[in-house]
Structure 1
Amino acid sequence: MSTIIADLITKEEIKNFRIIDAPESHANELRYKLQSAVRLGNEFKSKSEIIFNTTEGPKRVETTVWMLTDSYIQLKNGIMIPLSSLLDIDY
């Protein structure tokens, strides 16, 4: 479980926030966890906890990760979160 303090929001609320890059990129170190989150979401319909950076501070969402690209993770309904904004992921 992450020690980052972040407000819990729903995936539908993500569009209400301006997502910005994290102070330090964590994309490479989180890549294995992201790949596992995609597998958990697609094969087992299991949710992951994703913490990302916004102009209003860190936000946390508990949802299924559908796809991973070189630059984004995709959630249900086409919601995209840039890898550069990620602070942590847990499942």
Structure 2
Amino acid sequence: MIGTLIEKEQVANLKIIPAEVDNSAKFMSILQSALRLGNEFKSKTALVFNTDEGPMRIETTVWSLTEKYIQIKHGILIPLRSLIAVEY
């Protein structure tokens, strides 16, 4: 999987920017499944998102999902428009 692997706590220190292609709609059903897996089975999801320093990857539990954002631990929000890849 692409992207530099970082700790999820580092996300708050990054400037997240939109990905070249907005895959929000494409990832919505995958993220809904990731949300269920995280809440019911404490399963982690790999997320690759775009930053001004290039693609970054984290492995985390998805805590909540809206039309525009996913929320991870510590209330950190990642815009769906910034997502490049999602795997669980």
TM interval, shorter chain, is over 0.9
2-structure distance, mates of 1:66, 1:41: 7
1:13 equivalent in alignment to 2:14: no
Q: What fraction of aligned residue pairs are identical, expressed as a percent?
A: 55
TM-score (norm 1): 0.94
- Determine the structure 2 residue equivalent to 1:28: 25
Structure 1 segments (4+ residues) deviating >6 Å: none
| Count of residues paired in the alignment | 88
RMSD: 0.7
Please list every run of 5 or more consecutive structure 1 residues that lacks an aligned counterpart in the other structure: none
- Determine the structure 2 residue equivalent to 1:40: 37
Please list every run of 5 or more consecutive structure 2 residues that lacks an aligned counterpart in the other structure: none
2-structure distance, mates of 1:10, 1:80: 15
- Determine the structure 1 residue equivalent to 2:62: 65
TM-score (norm 2): 0.97
1:76 equivalent in alignment to 2:78: no
2-structure distance, mates of 1:13, 1:76: 11
